[in-house]
Chains A and B, each alone.
Chain A
Amino acid sequence: MKPSEMQQRRAVLRRVAWMLGGAVSAPAALAILQGCSAKEPVPGAALQSKFFKGKQADIVSAIADVLIPKTDTSGALDAGVPAFIDSIMADVYPKDAQDRFSAGINEFETAAGEGGKGFLDQDVTQRAATVQKAIAAALEGEHKDKPFILVARELTLLGFYTSEVGITENMEYVPVPTVYHGCVPLSEMKKHVYWE
């Protein structure tokens, strides 16, 4: 769906809400909203970087891919996580954190390549082991600043679980729930409900 159509649908929803007030039919509102679920193209590693330089985009993409791989459901790359990390680093993180993250990518690559293949030359199984090892090391001991691999991990989770595929394939996302029920057996719920 084109953005202009999406905007039109949203305008319709707003008008429906305006006109019907309390009588607004939630299923109708839902249908209008769900009509807007445009699939974004997957940028993957070929993104236009605002932050990453050289191989950094490929390295972070490869890390995100082993953290949240494509299985029977979409993975981090399908969700555009590398582009997400690129933009959040560029526009949300302050300079000192940017510098640490950038240096962290390079240090990660250097450490990963010691005594064997460089990280990007490793196959997926080897990459997963490399990332697992880096996480295990980062989780040990005290650090003044959050280690690079844990920042990358946090942003992969954030980017994925705020993306359309991350939310809609893993949770019951209801844009207009209409009512709050405070105490419901999980057995009566479809799956993890989106609560944020």
Chain B
Amino acid sequence: MSGGWAAKELTEKGLKTLVLERGRMVRHPDYPTATKDPWELPYGNRITQETRHRKPIQSRTGYPTPANQHWFVDDLDNPYVEEQPFDWLRGYHVGGRSLMWARQSYRFGPLDFEANAKEGVAIPWPVTYDEIAPWYDKAEIFAGISGSVEGLHQLPDGKFLPPHDLNCVEIDFKKRLDDKLGRKLIIGRCANLTAPLTHNESPQRGTCQARNMCIRGCPFGGYFSSVSSTLPSAERTGNMTLLPNQIVYELIYDNDKGKATGVRVLDAETGKQTDYFAKIVFLCASALGSAYIMLNSTSSRFPNGFGNDSGELGHNIMDHNKPGNSNASVEGYLDVAYTGRRPNGFYSPRYRNVGKDKRDYLRGFGYQGRAARSNYNRFNDTPLMGAELKKAALEPGPWTIGMTAFGEILPYHDNYARLDRDKKDKHGLPLLVVNAVVRENERKMEQDMKNDAAEMLEAAGFKNVTVKSDSYNMGNSIHESGTARMGNDPKKSVLNRFNQVHACKNVYVTDGSFMPSFGCQNPSLTYMAFTARAADHAVSELKKGNL
């Protein structure tokens, strides 16, 4: 996600840019399963035992089905140590997780950027909403984010393509939530092109075809990924060299110059070691990936990891707490349905600790969900059979509705990743150790996350409301972040306000590592905006001779 943005911005500003990817090559529009019909996928697209064996951690989610499993890493070949259960969902290929992401794209607002300072949590953000807002504009316009303008302070509007439709049940749910509880429900803001892009920089991208098979890769270019969007832009400049299968494992630091001079790389296929040299380095390897590289880059100047004067490198891991989901059945609406397959759902923005609302915990949560008509599954545990069953299954089933809360997790120094140099992977590289859990504030918030969901579904008049508690492992929301936080004080942060390593200004880290707090919104759009801003800063500083 952030790597593609760095490549696009740096190459467009004229820099010869080497893009190093640890996994295999992927080129738009070559996605192996993207046009397969349902009957071309084996096993009803259920996860196989072979996948569960090779990819036990990836299989903790429902994602590595026959349609998608090729995008998820082999856990046996790519081990790490879980001191506490931690679901590290990874895609080692060009485009990374931008191919599989859920495309939900929300701005963080003033509430989020100000929270740490106001509440005395961790360290203040060194960037205000107003500073980043134009970069959000840029990211939204280039990527193509669809959504509705709502005027909500806690969820700022952006430069949107037309919103997807809410369906008939969701429209009524929205009204009732507003009338009875004063809570909002909006259509999800997502990186799917509901209309042509408003620029002509991505001729390879077409509008969303409402197939809802995005995770397989979209040959239409209907959603934003690095492969469909930023990397083609970078390639067109003629300034990009992209090398797949190159595992960056160390930054090279020159003590005399006080700068990083490049990176050290292992070829994933041959094991051959190569050093690549550059004037500036952008780390965009994901929060744990970039923290790994920095922790593994020790020198006399940085004995505890690259740029780690603060002792915060690898610490303050955050994700979104997702302790369960809520469902209900919906009576009526049997004469209406929808056509096409919407790659999006509804969003209910945060209302807790917003305005006059005050709770006994900090921050809040948002809900993501959808209403849909049920399918043939509804006949699983019924006596209906034969011709009667076939006839009944010709009709769409009753409506159901479900929603999941995503809660903010505070940054805790005690949630950390470190290296275990005694344990090695097949390349001989040390293993990452992860130790992160949710704590008291998150536990308190969980009560509201569950109770409020039941309250909302009941207020809407839905029946059979069930609130399901799932055990949540950190990482399961695939939003891990915070391992090299930015701040104004070099004693308390790894990066400065432009994503530069405080102690080594020609290294920028622009993936989720930099986040000093995490909101409850899906974070990718924020990474895009900060990456574009950091690239602009880097080129400007280079020109001034400051790097």
Q: Return chain B residues, CB-CB under 8 Å to A196.
A: 38, 341, 375
> What is the bound-complex CA distance between A181 and B167, given in angstroms?
8
**In whole angstroms, what is the CA distance A50 to B395 when docked?**
35
Q: Which partner residue on chain A sits nearest B396 by CB separation? A: A192
B172: nearest chain-A partner, CB-CB: A183
How far is B397's CA from A157's CA once the two chains are assembled, in angstroms? 14
Establish whether residues B335 and A68, one from each chain, have CB atoms under 8 Å apart when the complex forms.
Answer: no
Closest residue of A by beta carbon distance from B171: A183
In the assembled complex, B428 has its CB within 8 A of some CB on chain A: no
For the residues of A in contact with B, the DSSP-based class is helix
Q: Is B389 an interface residue (CB 8 A)?
A: yes
In the complex the two chains form, is B167's CB within 8 Å of A182's CB? Answer: yes
Q: A180-B165, A195-B373 are in contact. Are A92 and B43 (CB under 8 A)?
A: yes
**Which of these, B38, B49, B50, B389, contacts A162 with CB under 8 Å?**
B38
Inter-chain residue pair count (beta carbon < 8 A) = 192
Closest to A182 in B: B165
- Scan A130-161; emit 1 where CB is below 8 A from any B CB, else 0: 01100110010000000000100110011111
Check A21–B221 contact: CB distance below 8 A.
yes
The answer to the question of A189 belonging to the interface, with a C-beta cut-off of 8 Å to chain B, is yes
Q: Chain A, interface size: which category?
A: 35 or more
Minimum Cβ distance to chain B for residue A161 (Å): 5
**Contact partners of B44 in chain A: CB under 8 A:** 84, 88, 158-159, 162
Q: Which residues of B contact A135 (CB under 8 A)?
A: 383, 385
A164, CB-defined interface residue at 8 Å: yes
Interface string of A151-189 (1 = CB under 8 A from B): 001100111111110110010011111111111111101
- A29 vs B396: C-alpha distance in the bound complex, in angstroms? 26
Is A31's beta carbon under 8 Å from chain B?
no
A92 contacts B46, CB within 8 Å?
Answer: yes
Is B138's beta carbon under 8 Å from chain A? no
Contact A183–B221 (Cβ < 8 Å): no
Give the shortest distance, in Å, between A138 (CB) and chain B (any CB). 9
Which listed residue (A69, A170, A185) contacts B387, Cβ 8 A? A69
Query: How far, in whole Å, are A26 and B38 apart by their CA atoms in the complex?
Result: 19
Most chain A CB inside 10 Å of its own CB: which residue of B34, B196, B337: B337
**Contacts of B47 on A, CB cut-off 8 Å?**
92
The CA of A7 and the CA of B376, in the complex, are separated in Å by 30
Q: Which of A67, A164, A166, A180 has the most CB of B within 10 A?
A: A180
Residues of B358-379 at the interface with A, using a CB-CB cut-off of 8 Å, are 372-373, 375-377, 379
Contact residues of A with B, CB < 8 Å?
A: 10, 13-14, 17-18, 20-24, 26, 29, 33, 36, 66-69, 71, 73, 84, 87-88, 91-94, 128, 131-132, 135-136, 139, 150, 153-154, 157-164, 166-167, 170, 173-187, 189, 191-196
25 chain-A/chain-B pairs, Cβ below 8 angstroms? A14-B34, A17-B220, A18-B28, A18-B219, A21-B220, A22-B193, A26-B209, A36-B37, A67-B386, A68-B386, A92-B43, A136-B383, A139-B382, A157-B376, A157-B380, A159-B44, A173-B37, A174-B339, A180-B210, A182-B166, A182-B342, A183-B165, A193-B338, A195-B341, A195-B375
